[in-house]
Amino acid sequence: MTSQSQGIQQLLQAEKRAKDKLEEAKKRKGKRLKQAKEEAIAEIDHYRLQREKEFRNKQTNVMGSQGNLSAKIEEQTAETIRNLTSSYHKSMESLMKKLLSTICDINPEVHPNFRHAV
């Protein structure tokens, strides 16, 4: 019986060692999965930052040219307004005199199509 109990003891010890190895393998697998997940997240973040940087560069190029364009348009608009204002001030008095003379100086005349009744 001692040899049977010794055999059983050896089987139990072998089973325990197998169980320990299995748990250790599960722990290593869990650690490796966690590490792989962290590496993937880091890689994704790096890629995202790279793409955002490229996007910002393209956006700066496009918006920069639009900013210059809008500045030019605003400058042209201000120049046009200045020209119109100066033209208004130069010709306002003569135009008012001409308008008032047209309104106030009336010369009554008979229309050429008017027929006298006989």
Buried b (16+ CB within 10 A) or exposed e, 65-104: eeeeeeeeeeeeeeeeeeeeeeeeeeeeeeeeeeeeeeee
Q: Which has more pLDDT, 69 or 33? A: 33
Torsions phi, psi for 106 (to 5 deg): -105, 130
Element (H, E) at 38: helix 2-104
pLDDT band at 64 (very low <50, low <70, confident <90, very high): low
The whole-angstrom separation of Cα 69 and Cα 36 is: 49
pLDDT confidence bin for 113, thresholds 50/70/90: confident
pTM tops 0.85: no
For residues 78 and 84, give the distance between their C-alpha atoms in angstroms, rounded to a whole number: 10
Euclidean distance between CA atoms 38 and 44, whole angstroms: 10
pLDDT value of position 118: 57
Q: Considering the chain, what is the average pLDDT of its residues? A: 89
- Phi and psi at 44, nearest 5°, equal -65, -45
